[in-house]
Structure 1
């Protein structure tokens, strides 16, 4: 399922000049503002005049020193096919409807079929149905998980580490964003102080989103269930991993009963006690490799990872539930993620042959 996608199509000089005039006039007509040079992107002129139609941002790019011209569109597919639907993702059986709507609109500018465009960025996502009261607990636990160093070391990641509504792990090529849909929108409305809109539709929704940036290849290559599965499942396993959440003492009891080898049992129990003591997996990992460099550091990281996976294989997530949560156990979301993806795969099987012959859609 897709939230947003940024597509591009290379233009000739004639095509660029034609589109600049047409889109500039359209921007003035719809917003009263002409195309203007993007302050953060000096090679591009931009308009947001069509955002209510789902075309969130349209850029005309001209890089003079390489003689490159292109149109780029950041599009929200669900909004293209359903007016005012800013909240939901596009589903497999709606991809062809989106493609047709996109093509119909872009044909007015003599632009080609969506499938011939290239992808610069695509945001894969999945919405899980979780009791609203439990979502803040999941967010608290996620922040104590195995956050990779490439994201943890980034200043943008650190900027949002104290947020109670999301886990935002930023890097240049990929960003993982897990967030409370309802509270995020509620806080945004408070901050913007605009007219309130009904956001009840996203209550009890936890979104897991993987933003793939610097993509290369045509749209058809990214509308693929295997790419979607890999993005969602691999990154969830990387950060959160398997195993249900328990109170620390419960986890210790489970390990003691499950592992008959006394030495292994002590190692695993000490491992999760240390994680609980320092406040999370990534903090414990930092402490475990502190003072080590190069090959010795790599050995320590590998040893830490091996122990982490041993705990998970028992069915325990190494992050313990805080006692103030009032819970003894909280289920891992991995099963719900896999079940939802299986539903999407079954949905694909039921699509008619003419649609699946076009591309393996999400």
Structure 2
């Protein structure tokens, strides 16, 4: 349920000097301190601990410095890279506490234990499975953009949306790992682990977002990492954004979706409105574009039918589709695929809470 976290600890100049002595030759210390104090640069320590992605030092002022640790929690526990993510179980939390304290001590004896570090980033993550991962990525790109979220990179293999405080990354894990394995052939075992994995990441990157999580779940104002390691928090973060972007319904080709609507006991007028709505979504190829054009009104190609309505009507039509298990985004005709189960079906809630 969690992949990466970033932890921060503030220490004084004396402790920084002692820490640097554990990583640099004594003759190099003055030069390193100049970079930190005079130039205000951050420096990365060379740390070879599986699961520790980055360990860096950044000056706050002339007297105090921040130590940043970016950690892959599950990799830290097992001592090697893995596709698996950290489960917020009592056992996993205990294993993490031990592994993290050992890692911090290995970095430097002057650093506080894990309970004294603050969280500056947390990536709530889940691995869903699908036989149609590449197709699900393309369909997710056509999904809804939450308010003030934009795709700033538009890369193949990833449905990416970003705001000031949160990044949503829904991607093909096998595609991502395949590109990295070229650089490190010793990790080819990850290819098998990543097969059919549709990875969902909700990256909470700002103090404001973390503060809102603390408020919602009544966490202490000065929470440490272990306060956030709860399955209910992770599931809320993942599902709330997943439903905003993708929704609950399965993917159908337009022809199959229209048949499902026809098979309902809805009034004919309602059936026709929802059918035209789906044709309209397919025509715009984007829920977000469709939402903008719906208010203004848009003619369906090759017809005299104009699809138009309020924001509330748009939401009501989406809800109607959900009621009969249809995703408003339909499978393109040229794919030759008539049905793709929503990847969220692969989520085993009983496993999440164990």
Q: Which runs of at least 4 in structure 1 moved beyond 4 Å after TM superposition?
A: 33-38, 193-196
* Ranges in structure 1 where 5+ consecutive residues have no aligned partner: 292-298, 348-362
Deviations 1:17-59 (CA, angstroms, capped at 9, x unpaired): 3234424642669xxx968959xxx755221511543222222
Query: Within the alignment, does 1:237 sit opposite 2:243 as a pair?
Result: yes
- Corresponding residue for 1:62? 59
Q: Distance in 1 between matches of 2:149 and 2:25?
A: 40
CA deviation after TM superposition for structure 1 residue 86, in Å: 4.3
Q: Against the structure 1 CA distance between its residues 194 and 268, is the aligned structure 2 distance closer, same or farther, given a 3 Å change threshold?
A: same
CA deviation after TM superposition for structure 1 residue 4, in Å: 0.8
- Corresponding residue for 2:93? 95
- Corresponding residue for 2:78? 82
- Corresponding residue for 2:351? 343
Equivalent positions of 1:315-326 (< 5 A) are 315-326=325-336
8 Å Cα contact 2:19-2:110 kept in structure 1? no
Q: Distance in 1 between matches of 2:242 and 2:35?
A: 38
Q: Secondary structure at the match of 1:26?
A: coil
TM (normalized to structure 2)? 0.80
- Corresponding residue for 1:356? none
75-84 or 206-215, larger mean C-alpha shift: 75-84
* Paired residue total: 318
- Corresponding residue for 2:153? 159
Q: Distance in 2 between matches of 1:20 and 1:124?
A: 35
Q: Against the structure 1 CA distance between its residues 146 and 239, is the aligned structure 2 distance closer, same or farther, given a 3 Å change threshold?
A: same
CA deviation after TM superposition for structure 1 residue 140, in Å: 1.2
- Corresponding residue for 2:300? none
CA deviation after TM superposition for structure 1 residue 89, in Å: 1.5
- Corresponding residue for 1:126? 126
Q: What RMSD in Å do the two structures reach over aligned CA positions?
A: 2.8
8 Å Cα contact 1:119-1:219 kept in structure 2? yes
* Ranges in structure 2 where 5+ consecutive residues have no aligned partner: 212-222, 298-308
CA deviation after TM superposition for structure 1 residue 232, in Å: 1.0
8 Å Cα contact 2:250-2:342 kept in structure 1? yes
Q: Distance in 2 between matches of 1:27 and 1:317?
A: 57
Q: Distance in 1 between matches of 2:49 and 2:330?
A: 44
